[in-house]
Structure 1
Amino acid sequence: MKKASLASFFAALLLAGCGTSAVGTGAPALPSSLKEVRQVENITEYQLANGLVVLLAPDPSKPTATVNLTYRVGSRHEGNGETGAAHLLEHMLFKSSASIADPKLEMTRRGARWNGTTWLDRTNYFATFASDAETMDWMLGWLAESMTRAKLLQGEFDTELTVVRNELERSENNPARVLGKRMTSAAYEWHGYRHDTLGARSDVEHIPLERLRAFYRRHYRPDNATLVIGGRFEAAAALAKVAQAFGPIARPSVPLLPGYTVDPPQDGERHVTLRRVGGNPSVAVLYHVMPGSARDFAAMRVLSQLLAMNGGPLDLALVRPGIAVGQAAYVFALRDPGHLLASVGLPAGTSEAAVEQARQALARAVETVQPTEAQVALARGLVLKSINDALRDPEQLSLGLSESIALGDWRLWFAMRDWIEAVTLADVQRVAATWLLASNRTSGSYLPTDTLPPRAPLAPPTDIVQVLADYRGKAPSAAVEDFALTPANIDAHTVLRRLTAGGEPGLRVALLPRPSKDQRITGTLRLPWGSADSLNGQQALGSLAGPMLLRGTRSRSAEQLTADLLALDARLTINTGVGGLTANFELPAQHLAAFTALLGQILREPAFDAAEFTRVRQQQLTGMVNARTDPAALASNALQLVFAAPARDDAGRAAGRYAPGDPRSARTQDETEAQLRAADAAQLRAFWQRFAGATVGELVLIGPLAPDETTARWQQAIGDWKAPERRRGWVFAYPTDLDRLPPPAPVRVPDKANANYVARIPLSMNADAADFPALFAAVQLLGGRAGTALWQRVREQEGLSYGISASLFAPASSERFPGGDAAAINLQASFAPQNRERLLAAIRDELTRRAANGFSAIEVGFARRAIVSGRADALAQPANLAGTLANNLRHGRDMAHYARFTQAYETISADAVNAALKKYLRPERLVEVTAGSFP
């Protein structure tokens, strides 16, 4: 009554065999509830109406009989919180049942050798006894009663827990077994095989009895069990007793649930180190392999025998040179993909460095194995001998069949024998090359110590009621005075100012004094710089400036800046690009003066230290490496290259709009990386000195502030900060001759489970166009959120994407885009690579259908409410409101402009939306890019 030990399980593995069917003769008379199913060699299969499978394996060569009942439930079937349940239940079935108070005592009185074992895929109960009808009848009766009528009493449960816990503790004393557990847990990510059969100690000690009863009811049933009767017995009498004892047990109405968890292929080496007191050091390697029912498993059986035998690779590479003192290899035959484990023991006193060398040598010996014909023949013979020995022993055969039953069919015992007989050198070489790979390896090292190594304590559970019994918290925050966040009220309270630089107008400022929670101020600072001509080739320097600004000033290190901002309770982010800088911040009003001075120093006195620059640049280069295999990044870059690639020659003129190096042009990842590698700290200092300044841009602050005092402090901090190179407007344009553009080829990315789709329809409009609100609502209905057209079609109806969206971009009219042709409808989605063609077809069809048919008045009503609600919510977020006020400063408008657009959305009609769709939604102009691991 124990978990199958590794030694006994490995022995059972060596006994597993195979074969073909033969016609049975001299069959006994059958009870009406039993039917004969098949016969293979000397074993005949019967089945009861309730699904119980019965195998008779008569062998009168010994005066004993063996009865073995196997349930197809093991530790892999356990859920979280119930690990060890299968093994614990095995113990409990030897306790009282409906009519038998102590089955162990009864079997012992009858002279039976009895036990039960639990393994990953199965649990079995068996006994071997001197052949006599009375003992056979009693055994079958008890096994039938225990199937559904075990009492599972609380008192018996409490006492047996001590026994099971002791078994678990004994297993912890064996370093090799503990190392195997740790390696298996590391090798399997999700599958139940990652749990040790004895379970977690906390689960074993605390599982409620009712949960164990539920596990019993779920798995102990006739259609989940196979009964084997072997040795010397009277077949007709045994079948009659089986029908009498098991026949009345009803098949449950709830079907058995199949297992469906499959671990993904391992994608890199894993390693486990175990340190404990005592024992000799050892190392091991584990590799995932095929299920035990696969025909190729026969070659894997031979390979594992070959690895471990005297004169095999482990012996020659590690034992005979004196590196190791012994070797072993086992392959685990499991219902789902199993694993091969090879290990060597090392001499006492082996140093830690030598243990690591031995681990590497073991992995090399396994992964570079080159078996010979003679080695395969010897290994095959050794495996077959163990199988044939078991066939001659009725007890071993009856028990060994449990493993084939657990794999799914008892006939695998014989089939495996025949497959092993046919294994060739080429078969062994093939499975070795397929499975014994470094990327499929989990290795382990046991490093004994003389004294107990320090370990973190086991954290005790928290009594949350006691911990918080006297907790009262801090004083509540003061109530915030109401402030109506309407465009009119915002305009009424906004104070507009302008900083000066040498007597000339400088930075535009918008201050919105208003109450806020905890008296905090939110702000944004935008500083554009340069022109398309002056910034040619400067993209990398523009991107590096932002992260470098917080890496120290001339008088403060990066650590001091962090401490200063923390002392001010301020949050500051600075982002830069080739076109300018944006700083967003939030802090208590009482610290505004100190923060303003600190930000002024950060901007005007950056250190741009060479060592810090090297670190920041390396971080960006590392990100570039990741982007090279990121389908989303690659798809986005490919789409940008279609619309903004630099002009090269006549063949590429349709895609080219800008000169090479133009900051408005898209760059390949190679070009971006080359710019980053070429940049240095001296270049960044020159860039900053030439372009950075505060004479052009926008500053917005919202919160409890005094406009005059605030303006004066910012004037002092950055008002006179002038850049030699003045900002001049940029002009963007998209190609309009899209009919001359070939559709971009799919971007192929290896080894990615998810692919990405991006697409664009270029438009001629700006955000102040009369039909912009209608088109914005239309695009929102296409794919702005869950429930919209593309979402419903692509995700809900066809299940092709986790998420798909559509958005509309259009510049403000003040940006003076020629012809307004830089607007676009943008689409993006994620999908499985094999669904690429289906996704493209679904999106194109939905766009074509909507362009023709539009949306109903009800659908437009939903969009109208969502847009208006979203605009109101945006004003309630201080950071969003600051951004809106900054845009107003830039484009020379006020909140009345915002209100007019809100009014336009509130009154928009289905006719206007559908007219905008017909005008602008041009599926024939759709440019699509996909990136992923496509066939």
Structure 2
Amino acid sequence: MHMRRLALALSLALSLLPEAAPVAAPLAAAPAGVQRVTRVEGITEYRLANGLRVLLAPDQSKPTTTVNVTYLVGSRYEHYGETGMAHLLEHLMFKGTPRHPHIDEDYTRRAMQSNGTTSFDRTNYFETFPASGDNLQWALRMEADRMVNSFIAKRDLDSEMTVVRNEMESGENDPMSVLWQKMTAVAYQWHNYGKDTIGARADVENVNIAHLQAFYRQYYQPDNAVLTVSGKFDEAQTLRWVQQHFGALKKPLRVLEPTYTTEPTQDGEREITLRRAGDAQIVAALYHGPDGGHADAAVFELLADVLGGTPNGRLYKRLVEQKLATEVFGEQMNLNEPGYALFGAKLRVDGDREAVRQALLTELEGLAQRPITDDEVEAARARWLNGFDKLMNDPEALGVRLSESIALGDWRSLFLLRDRIEHATATDLQRVAVHYLLSSNRTLGQFIPDAKPQRAVIPPQSDLKLALAGYQGKPPVAQGEAFDPTPEHIEARTERTALKNGMRLALLPKKTRGEAVSLTLALHFGDEQSLAGQREIGRLAAAMLGRGSEHKSRQQLQSAFDALKTQWRYDGNAEGGALTLQSSRQSLPQALRLVRELLREPAFSEAEFAQLRNESLAHVEESRSDPQALAMNTLYRHFNHYAVGDVRYQPSFDESTAALQSVTLAQVKGFHQRFYGGDSAQLAIVGDFDAAAIKPELDALFGDWRSASPYRRVARPFDAGQPAELSVQLADKANAFFVAALPLRLTDRSPDYPALLVANYILGQGSGLSSRLINRLRQQDGISYYAGSFLNVSAQDDDAELRAMAIYAPQNLERLKRGFSEELSRFAHDGVSEQEVSDAKAGLLQEIKLGRAQDAALAGELAEQLRLGRSMRDAAALQDKVARLTAADINAALKRQLDPAGFTRVFAGELKAQADSKQ
């Protein structure tokens, strides 16, 4: 997983910290050979004699355990001609060892969710799994084994090469990803932070296997690694297993040399212009900044939100609200050595790029004239701390997030960053802004001579050891109860009732870490006749919710949620919507009042509506050159058999654009007044709350909320359609997209449904990198970084489908067609084995169990059960059917349901025949 391409999407969001923290649990006794080093906020560090550092972060309230190994090596350590080596090793580390030759199959068998990521300063590997001693010991034994015994073989390198190339090409489709890479290359003249983590194509394709093996032996050693175990586990036993498996590894004799290249102070504006296919413009500015351990880094992180946040940031107000751009962003890159901040805006293809450039730079480099205010700092701080609290309540996310702090030089820097964020002032932000956000420190696109240039002198690398000397941190967060997520236990703990307007409730109170609580509210509107012609109107009405109420602006509404440390999301269309909420016991009543305000009293302002329509039109335009969006739209339209105006009709991009342009604000308001109401709704709450107190609160807020138009579900009966092979030609796209769909006539109560669930898991849904499709298209043929399948089945309509998809390089089109067809034919005619069925059932049932262990997912399931008139007894019955399945049962279902000739297949990308010179 290429970290640069995910950087803009990274956030700290997940659950909530408590107002008060309990007394810390007693420390586990360290076995012989294990030294206890320090403990901060419930996390304890140990060190083995061979140099391995071990972090234990227990949380007995969760049913999962996460094992994460961080190696202090990333692309920063690569030499000339060997870029991408750290990332290549990430791929090859999943190819096995003599003792563990099939790691991905083991992951699937044990229902483990696994991955690896490569960044500039570190590489990490992690697996999350159902908590058990057997799973944990296997993970520790496997990680210790592959630390020093991985094959790193030429045959695996050759087979994985086209997969890595396919991953490269998928990034080439994203203009922002490519622009970001080009900008850092211009901003850094000497330092490896200016080189893409995935590496230069020539270096990757011509890598010397002996050099790669030497790189592995040099850096993949216990004295260059940090092992983190988080979630539910026995600390004393875990330490014994760590010592048993990792302690047996010898401490290497080699000495690791530190990197020493320092980027000189930039002495003038730099510019890069990227020209390639696309349907949106981007203007961005990059500024050098301090290393992630420096005190200024925390201030810069808040500054990035004050400037680039949505919808409260200055850039949003200047560019989006003024209709110059469709979206803005701001990101601070905290790295081991001096990093950078990136700000920018996206605008429509016919937008005024020069006006955006001028406005962007005026906001970023004009803060001396428009100082940062205390209110802006407090709002940004509240958002940051809200995300931090959620991180601390999620051991899976925390275990992986610690890799970033480890890469800075010390895992405790995560808490030091939090402390610095808490104490940062508007004066601090103003000082950092005027010091770093200078034209002479900017990489944008042009060079202008200046007789008296200003300089942004980057401070020398900070001393984290000095800053953290004697650091104690804060008390650890409160622990929740050990909740058993079985259907029987959930059913026994759940109360079902209704409000006076008919809204049905499912309430499941339980003690949670940080007193966290999750909520799902499902709304349903209209019928086939009343919703005619309302498709885009209903979508825009849903999107307008949260953009201000009769009492608060959009910014004030979001700030109110942030102050309550509450996250919410509403997704909807003309037929209904779902609001999800993550809050805390203390904040839930106030958060529900805000939910009432945004749902029942939206402002529907002219300015926000104009912005929304502009954003929606820009999204449609971008989709016109996106292979995946084009392929999916082509597929949906092929199976569309409804007339224009029907709410189920699938429009073309041209039709969507025309519809968006024709919708008026009055129509959107009218839709809300006519259809929104709670009388056909379902609401489920799971977590730490008082059910007796919350019911009258809910009745007061929503009990009188009724829709003016009666609800009757819009049916989608089965239509087999005609199978076809469809192509969508796109120019200048390095990566292509494939999707195939087979209509199936069944519901989730059909006799074949349980068997098809397991069959689909074997075909392409299985966890890890082990399924029929991924084994063929990635592991064997090496042509697709991603491939998989999905079974879409309704509870009420018999219009189901089996869908498969993959990404690939255009020159591999014929190989993709052949591989998919052969695997599908073998799957349909030869069936599955008992071993595959056994592994798939184990993995699928574990995934179902893990899903119910997540409160937000469980709230969604309970709400859906209310809609269908079902209970957890129905869920248990399905699990029992799955558990009893045999290979014969599944093969019989495949004979009845799976027709390889019935698939419609869509290929989108640059489809001209090309010789594959790389094979």
Counterpart of 1:697 (choices 664, 670, 681) is: 681
SS in 2 for 1:445: coil
1:752 equivalent to 2:733? Answer: yes
Q: Taking structure 1 as reference, are residues 271 and 877 closer, same or farther at Cα in structure 2, changes over 3 Å only? A: closer
- Distance in 1, Cα, partners of 2:184 & 2:631: 34
Query: In the superposition, relative to structure 1, how do residues 265 and 694 fare at CA in structure 2: closer, same or farther (>3 Å)?
Result: closer
Residue 735 (structure 1) aligns with: 719
Q: Match for residue 855 of structure 2?
A: 878
Task: Kindly state the Cα deviation for residue 473 of structure 1 after the two structures are TM-superposed.
Answer: 1.6
* Shift, 1:708, TM fit: 2.7
Partner residue in 1 for 2:744: 763
Structure 2 Cα separation of the partners of residues 516 and 273 of structure 1 = 43
The structural deviation recorded for 1:490 is: 0.9
Letter in 2 for 1:448: D
Q: Give, in whole Å, the separation in 2 of the partners of 1:623 and 1:604.
A: 27
Distance 1:768 1:468, change over 3 A: same
How far apart are 1:735 and its partner, in Å?
2.5
Partner Cα separation in structure 1 for residue 682 and residue 752 of structure 2:
29
Contact 2:273 2:445 in 1 (8 A): no
Give the secondary-structure state (helix, strand or coil) at the position aligned to 1:590: coil
Alignment match, 2:691: 707
For residues 270 and 768 of structure 1, the distance between their equivalents in structure 2, rounded to whole angstroms, comes to 49
Corresponding residue number in structure 2 for 1:305 = none
TM superposition shift of 1:457: 2.3
- 1:887/1:467 Cα in 2 relative to 1: closer, same or farther (>3 Å)? same
The structure with higher relative contact order (CA 8 Å, sep 6+) is 2
Please state how far the C-alpha of 1:443 moved relative to its aligned partner.
7.9
1:273, 1:446 within 8 Å by CA — same for their partners in 2? no
- Cα distance, 1:201–1:870 mapped onto 2, change above 3 Å: closer
1:863 match: 840
Please show how residues 23-172 of structure 1 align to structure 2 within 5 Å.
none
Which residue among 627, 631, 635 is the counterpart of 1:631? Answer: 627
If you compute each CA radius of gyration, which structure gives the higher value, 1 or 2?
Answer: 1
Distance in 1 between residues matched to 2:621 and 2:484, nearest whole Å: 49
Match of 1:796 in 2: 779
SS for the counterpart of 2:709 is: coil
AA partner of residue 549 (structure 1): L
Structure 1 position 456 matched with structure 2 position 456: yes
The Cα of 1:82 is off from its aligned counterpart by 7.0
Coordinate RMSD, CA, aligned? 3.3
- Deviation of the 1:459 alpha carbon: 2.5
Tell whether the 8 Å contact from 1:774 to 1:916 is kept in structure 2 after alignment: yes
Counterpart CA distance in 2 for 1:764 and 1:272 is 50
Question: Contact conserved, 2:76 with 2:193, CA < 8 A, in 1?
Answer: no
Asked if 2 retains the 8 angstrom alpha-carbon contact of 1:187 and 1:194, the reply is: no
1:806 alignment partner in structure 2:
789
Whole-Å Cα distance in 1 between the matches of residues 535 and 793 of structure 2? 23
Partner residue in 1 for 2:564:
568
Query: Which residue does 1:447 correspond to in 2?
Result: 449
Kept after mapping to 1: 8 A contact 2:515/2:688: yes
Report 1:303-322 matches (<5 A): none
Amino acid of the structure 1 residue aligned with 2:482: D
* Structure 1 position 482, deviation (Å): 2.3
Change (3 A) 1:612 1:907: same
Asked whether the 8 Å contact 2:572–2:578 carries over to 1, the reply is: yes
User: Could you say which residue in structure 2 is the equivalent of 1:840?
Assistant: 817
- Paired with 1:477 and 1:695, the residues of 2 have a C-alpha distance of 39
Gaps in structure 2 of 5+ consecutive residues: 1-74, 83-177, 195-210, 212-271, 288-357, 359-443, 913-919
Q: Equivalences for 1:654-669 in 2 at 5 Å?
A: 657-669=641-653
Q: Does 1:466 align with 2:466?
A: yes
CA contact (8 A) 1:571 1:586 kept: yes
**1:190 Cα deviation after fit:** 11
Distance 1:857 1:556, change over 3 A: same
1:483 equivalent to 2:483? Answer yes
**SS of alignment partner, residue 906 of structure 2:** strand
In the alignment, the residues of structure 1 paired with residue 536 and residue 759 of structure 2 have an alpha-carbon distance, to the nearest angstrom, of 37
Q: Structure 1 stretches of 5 or more lacking a match?
A: 1-77, 86-184, 204-217, 219-263, 276-355, 357-441, 645-656
How far did 1:194 drift? 10
Q: Deviations over 1:36-82 (max 9, x none)?
A: xxxxxxxxxxxxxxxxxxxxxxxxxxxxxxxxxxxxxxxxxx99687
Partner of 1:267: 275
Letter in 1 for 2:447: S
Q: Does 1:776 align with 2:772?
A: no
Tell me the residue number matched to 2:535.
539
Q: Deviations over 1:263-321 (max 9, x none)?
A: x996369999999xxxxxxxxxxxxxxxxxxxxxxxxxxxxxxxxxxxxxxxxxxxxxx
Q: Secondary structure at the match of 2:479?
A: coil
Specify the SS of the correspondent of 1:606: coil
Match of 2:882 in 1: 905
Going from structure 1 to structure 2, the CA distance change for 1:443 and 1:495 (only over 3 Å counts) comes to closer
Q: Is the 8 A contact 1:552 1:608 kept in 2?
A: yes
> Structure 1 residues 842, 704: closer, same or farther in 2, change over 3 A?
same
Q: Could you say if the C-alpha distance between residues 808 and 188 of structure 1 is closer, same or farther in structure 2, counting changes exceeding 3 Å?
A: closer
Q: Aligned pair in 2 of structure 1 residues 564, 823: CA closer, same or farther (>3 Å)?
A: same
Q: Mapping of 1:167-182 within 5 angstroms?
A: none
Amino acid at match of 1:463: D
CA distance in 2, matches of 1:848, 1:83: 46
The verdict on how the C-alpha distance between 1:193 and 1:680 changes in structure 2, with shifts beyond 3 A counting, is closer
Judging changes above 3 Å, is the alpha-carbon distance between structure 1 residues 448 and 598 closer, same or farther for their aligned structure 2 residues?
Answer: closer
Alignment check: 8 A CA contact 2:184 2:193 kept: no
Task: Give the whole-Å Cα distance in 2 for the aligned partners of 1:201 and 1:863.
Answer: 43
1:602 Cα deviation after fit:
1.2
Alpha-carbon distance between aligned partners in 1 of 2:512 and 2:695, rounded to the nearest angstrom: 20
Q: CA deviation at 1:928?
A: 0.5
CA gap 1:270/1:709 in 2 versus in 1, 3 angstroms: closer
1:745 Cα deviation from its structure 2 partner: 3.1
Residues 208-219 of structure 1: pairs in structure 2 closer than 5 A: none
CA contact under 8 A between 1:774 and 1:912: conserved in structure 2?
A: yes
Deviations along 1:347-394, whole A, 9 cap, x unmatched? Answer: xxxxxxxxx9xxxxxxxxxxxxxxxxxxxxxxxxxxxxxxxxxxxxxx
- Residues 752 and 81 from structure 1, CA distance in 2 versus in 1: closer, same or farther, beyond 3 angstroms? closer
Letter paired with 1:854: G
Equivalent position to 2:805, from 807, 828, 848? 828
Q: Which amino acid aligns with 2:756?
A: L
Structure 2 residue identity aligned to 1:699 = L
State how far apart, in whole Å, the 1-side matches of 2:665 and 2:283 are: 41
The one-letter amino acid of 1:778's match is A
Q: Which amino acid aligns with 1:515?
A: K
CA shift, 1:448, in A, is 2.9
Name the SS for the 1:672 alignment partner: helix
Contact in 2 for aligned 1:271/1:443 (Cα 8 Å): no
* CA–CA separation in structure 1 for the residues paired with 2:180 and 2:707: 59
Q: What is the rounded CA distance, in whole Å, between the counterparts of 2:548 and 2:192 in structure 1?
A: 52
Matching of residue 685 in structure 1 with residue 669 in structure 2: yes
TM-score (norm 1): 0.51
Q: Provide the C-alpha distance between the structure 1 equivalents of 2:493 and 2:590, rounded to a whole number of angstroms.
A: 25
Mapped partners of 1:194, 1:460: distance in 2: 18
Task: Say which SS state the counterpart of residue 500 (structure 2) adopts.
Answer: strand
Secondary structure of the residue that 1:462 maps to in structure 2?
Answer: coil
1:520 corresponds to: 516
The code of the aligned residue for 2:565 comes to: D
Alignment equivalent of 1:720, drawn from 704, 709, 713: 704
CA distance in 1, matches of 2:498, 2:179: 63
3-state SS of paired residue (1:701): strand
Q: Secondary structure at the match of 2:499?
A: strand
Question: Is residue 879 of structure 2 the alignment partner of residue 895 of structure 1?
Answer: no
Counterparts of 2:515 and 2:550, CA distance in 1: 32
User: What is the CA-CA distance between 1:497 and the residue it aligns to?
Assistant: 1.1
Change (3 A) 1:693 1:792: same
- 1:733 offset after TM fit, Å? 2.6
**Counterpart Cα distance in 1 of 2:535 and 2:505:** 28
Q: Does the CA-based 8 Å contact 1:613-1:681 persist in structure 2?
A: yes
